[in-house]
Amino acid sequence: MSVPFGLDPGWLILLKSLVIFVFLVLVTLFTIWLERRIVARMQMRIGPNRVGPFGLVQGLADGVKLALKQDIIPALADRSVFILAPIISATTCFIAFAVIPLGPTVSIFGTWTNLQLTDFPVAVLFVLAIASIGIYGIVLAGWSSGSTYPLLGALRSSAQMISYEIAMGLSLVAVFLYAGSMSTSEIVSAQQNVWYVVLLLPSFVIYATSMVGETNRAPFDLPEAEGELVGGFHTEYSSLKFALFFLAEYINMVTVSALATTLFLGGWRAPAPISTNWEGANSGWWPLVWFVAKLFAFIFVFIWLRGTLPRLRYDQFMKFGWKVLIPVSLVWIVIVATARALRQSANVDSSSLLVVVGVILTILVVLSFVLDAMISRRMPREIEPEPEFDAFAGGFPVPPLPGQKLPTPAASAQTISSTGGDSRG
């Protein structure tokens, strides 16, 4: 049974909006607890375990404490923009969830409706559009603080989010091609037989990488790199305004995870062994369980990344985005589009297509090995000799770097007498 969108009665729209709001806030509280517990476990600590069972209510206690703190607006801040910035961040992050399908058609108080606030032909673009408005919150927060570190954080964040949004948008193109639609509910129903993570694995990998960059999470958390920028864009924020940024970061994490679930992991559909053995797994309220399970799988990966990987250097990070992710996704789109076009118009069946592609790839790989061998035979690789360690370089005693050996005392005395004067200035 399917019901068209846009025909819900008013009370149902209000109810759905309220449920989405409450769901996101509760997920945020739970995720904060989960993150602290998991990261603690990864670092051989215990984590919060005092407030409530297993420390579950710790997030709520911290939230109340944060809200009751003194709210400071710096003297040099641009007041109106300083107040506007966290509001933009917090409101936009809730809006994007409106188009995420949480389940199939269900009956709520006797009215048949879809478990999704709304859907329209460009719903996925809507999520991207809302995300691009959300960047304003971060950028304006940095600018309006009237201080250097937030400004640097904001500049980094805008550059980072614009760059990674391109890779993210490109990774979605293959999904649109296969599903034939940009509407989230239709993309989920197009994955009835096979999930797109299987069919379009490179797209999924690119999306998963860029979603970490898009949400400013470790190892891509350069806008708030505490070692370099104090707190980044929110350095000057306190109390409720800071809490809003905190909330926005976690909800963004939930939203991109939900979008990844919808686009690549079959949305609310039950995973293979369950759906094949149990008829009712994909109807009624059960799909909500699968959806939330997949959502938390992504959130766990986010936390895992944070517990495992060190932060990237900024230029390496940008280079990765522009010189690896974007070209790779462009090439992948061309491959997918060609394969689609061949199958649809030239009537080539998929197995012969795969054989041809496999043969071409093998030839290319063999050619590259042959070329490599020929080049390396012609030009023997020169090994750059390690410069001799100079313990008194420039007249100052310096310790040896890893791999260097301290010279014998006689040799170093000679070095001082020979280089002592000329290297200054």
Query: Given the rule CB under 8 A, which residues bind other proteins?
Result: 75-76, 78, 81, 84, 120-122, 125-126, 128-130, 132-133, 135-136, 139-140, 142-143, 145-149, 151, 154-155, 158-159, 162, 165, 182, 313, 393-396, 398, 423-425
User: 107 pairs with which residues across the strands?
Assistant: 112
User: Two tokens at 63?
Assistant: 């939230």
Residue number with CB closer to other proteins (58 or 158): 158
Q: Which is nearer to other proteins, 56 or 125 (CB)?
A: 125
What is the rounded distance in angstroms from the CA atom of residue 180 to the CA atom of residue 191? 11
Q: How far is the CB of 391 from other proteins (least distance, A)?
A: 11
For residue 9, give the DSSP letter: -
Name the nearest CA neighbour of 141 among 85, 94, 202, 206.
85
CB of 126 to other proteins, least distance (A): 6
To the nearest whole angstrom, how small is the minimum distance from the Cβ of residue 120 to other proteins?
5
Torsion over CA: 255, 259, 262, 265 (sign)? negative
Q: Which is nearer to other proteins, 149 or 204 (CB)?
A: 149
Closest to 326 measured CA to CA, from 179, 198, 175, 162: 162
Q: What's the min distance (Å) between Cβ of 193 and other proteins?
A: 24
**Residue nearer to other proteins on the CB measure, 80 or 351:** 80
Residue closest to 22 by CA, chosen among 115, 127, 97, 125:
97
- Whole-number Å distance between alpha carbons of 120 and 36: 37
In angstroms, what is the minimal distance from the CB of 379 to other proteins?
19
In the complex, what is the shortest distance from the CB of residue 12 to other proteins, in angstroms, rounded to a whole number?
17
Smaller CB separation from other proteins, 94 or 268: 94
User: Considering beta carbons, is residue 236 or 249 the nearer one to other proteins?
Assistant: 236
Minimum CB–partner distance for residue 319 and other proteins (Å): 12
Spatial separation of the C-alpha atoms in residues 90 and 35, rounded to whole Å: 20
List Cα–Cα distances, 173 to 199, 253, 277, in angstroms. Answer: 13, 21, 33
189 is written with which tokens? 């129903």
Extract the tokens encoding 39: 């990261």
- Token pair, residue 76, equals 């040099």
**Residue with Cβ nearer other proteins (153 or 287):** 153
Please state, in angstroms and rounded to a whole number, the distance separating the CA atoms of residues 85 and 100: 25
